């Protein structure tokens, strides 16, 4: 399987580390021989149709800042779009930064890949939150797979649990804590009895929150994940504009203290029922959903199986890379089944 990797930051590099670690098992257990034929970052690309030396690419990125600096295989200033169009490959892995206003550059990368007949795996929530129904249709029309299990819950298989494992049931609603940064801030406010600003500062010092934390604290990251779950698990055709969004910026310590008197706390809850909504809500401390720190948790409410909650770490380079590998194996299995049919 020839792979083009677009984006070579935390997730992209973790994915190469994971491939190196699991190379033998992938071949012996799954019959998968992945070959990275191109890597693209902001400054250009490295291309070798016979397969790039992964350890060398990681070293060049670390020491020289861009894979395009490789003397043999480097192509400075070549863009993701050009590489996707001009390089022969079966799969594109799109792991560039999330932009929820334009969806770019990921949106163009994904569309170009699908239109050129390449399957896509992405962990980039921006393009999906803005255009998932259209992208799923485009992939169907072009006969390729679009997979994105790392966008919700990182390594925790939330999307697969909802779509595959509960396939015999009917999911009525979903509610979850889908953002580790906000959960850390609310947990610290409640446990250390501090106000929002101080908890945010601590999260920033520890690297849990960005310098501009708006995507997380204003609820947009959670909303993107709701859109992805609603489309993929519940078959709703929705985008980010269909979500009612309230973040945690205005939650005060007194509200947490009041909730505490009733055995509850406040969590940023994303819910899919009749509507899609992100809102700080009181949750009983005995509810399975009430996880601490940076953990994520999702409760599926289904007609026959009742309530099931999955808890996991949510994000992280290697965790998210493991979701990409899961998608890769899933595509390989689906392609083998197609051939047998
Ligand atoms: N990190 C996590 O735990 C995690 C978890 C789940 C989902 N995600 C999502 O996964 C994606 C990647 O995350 P990350 O943490 O790996 O981000 P990152 O460390 O910022 O890496 C982004 C990479 O994309 C490259 N890039 C930026 N613009 C580009 C362009 N126009 N063309 C080609 N490459 C471009 C960057 O190039 P340079 O290296 O040259 O700057 C960098 O290599 C994001 O959408 C993120 O939201 C991340």
What average pLDDT values come out for the chain (341 residues) when binned by 10 residues? 97 97 91 95 98 97 98 97 98 97 98 98 98 98 98 94 92 97 98 98 95 96 98 96 98 98 98 97 97 97 96 93 96 91 84
Please tell me the predicted confidence (pLDDT) of residue 71.
95
Does 103 contact ligand 1 (Cβ within 6 A)?
Answer: no
Please tell me the predicted confidence (pLDDT) of residue 340.
86
Ligand 1 centroid–CA 324 distance in Å is 14
CA distance 290 to 173: 17
Please tell me the predicted confidence (pLDDT) of residue 316.
92
Hey, what are 7's tokens?
């984006």
Ligand 1 centroid–CA 45 distance in Å is 15
Give burial (CB, 10 Å; 0-12/13-18/19+) of 260. middle
Please tell me the predicted confidence (pLDDT) of residue 314.
87
CA distance 84 to 71: 21
pTM of the model: 0.96
Does 66 contact ligand 1 (Cβ within 6 A)?
Answer: yes
Please tell me the predicted confidence (pLDDT) of residue 201.
98
Helix/strand/coil for 197:
helix
Across the strands, what pairs with 147?
Answer: 121
CA distance 84 to 124: 17
Chain position carrying tokens 């790039």: 52
Q: Whose CA is nearest to atom 41 of ligand 1?
A: 42
Alpha helices in the chain (DSSP H): 10-30, 54-64, 80-86, 106-115, 125-142, 158-160, 180-192, 196-205, 214-217, 220-232, 253-261, 317-340
Please tell me the predicted confidence (pLDDT) of residue 66.
98
Q: Has 85 been annotated as catalytic?
A: no
Please tell me the predicted confidence (pLDDT) of residue 13.
98
Q: Whose CA is nearest to atom 11 of ligand 1?
A: 95
């Amino acid at each position: 399987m020839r792979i083009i990797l677009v984006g070579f930051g935390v997730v992209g590099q973790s994915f190469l580390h994971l491939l190196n670690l699991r190379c033998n098992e992938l071949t012996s257990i799954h019959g998968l021989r992945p070959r990275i034929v191109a890597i693209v970052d902001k400054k250009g690309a490295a291309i070798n149709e016979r397969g790039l030396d992964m350890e060398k690419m990681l070293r060049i990125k670390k020491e020289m800042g861009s894979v395009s600096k490789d003397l043999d295989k480097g192509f400075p200033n070549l863009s993701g779009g050009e590489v996707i169009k001009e390089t022969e490959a079966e799969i594109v892995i799109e792991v560039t930064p999330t932009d929820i206003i334009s969806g770019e550059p990921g949106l163009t990368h994904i569309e170009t890949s699908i239109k050129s007949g390449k399957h896509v795996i992405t962990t980039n929530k921006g393009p999906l939150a803005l255009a998932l129904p259209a992208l799923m249709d485009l992939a169907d029309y072009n006969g390729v797979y679009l997979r994105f299990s790392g966008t919700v819950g990182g390594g925790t298989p939330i999307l697969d649990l909802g779509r595959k494992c509960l396939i015999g049931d009917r999911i009525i609603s979903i509610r979850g804590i889908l953002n580790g940064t906000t959960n850390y801030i609310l947990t610290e406010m409640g446990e250390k009895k501090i106000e929002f600003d101080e908890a945010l500062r601590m999260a920033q010092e520890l690297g849990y929150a960005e310098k501009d934390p708006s995507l997380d604290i204003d609820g947009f990251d959670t909303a993107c994940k709701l859109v992805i779950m609603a489309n993929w698990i519940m078959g709703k055709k929705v985008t980010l504009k269909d979500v009612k969004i309230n973040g945690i910026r205005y939650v005060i310590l007194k509200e947490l203290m009041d909730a505490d008197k009733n055995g509850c706390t406040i969590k940023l809850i994303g819910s899919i029922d009749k509507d899609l909504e992100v809102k700080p809500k009181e949750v009983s401390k005995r509810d399975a959903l009430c996880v601490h720190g940076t953990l994520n948790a999702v409760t599926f409410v289904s007609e026959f199986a009742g309530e099931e909650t999955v808890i996991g770490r949510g994000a992280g380079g290697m965790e998210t890379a493991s979701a990409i590998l899961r998608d890769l194996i899933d595509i390989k299995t689906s392609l083998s089944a197609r051939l047998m049919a």
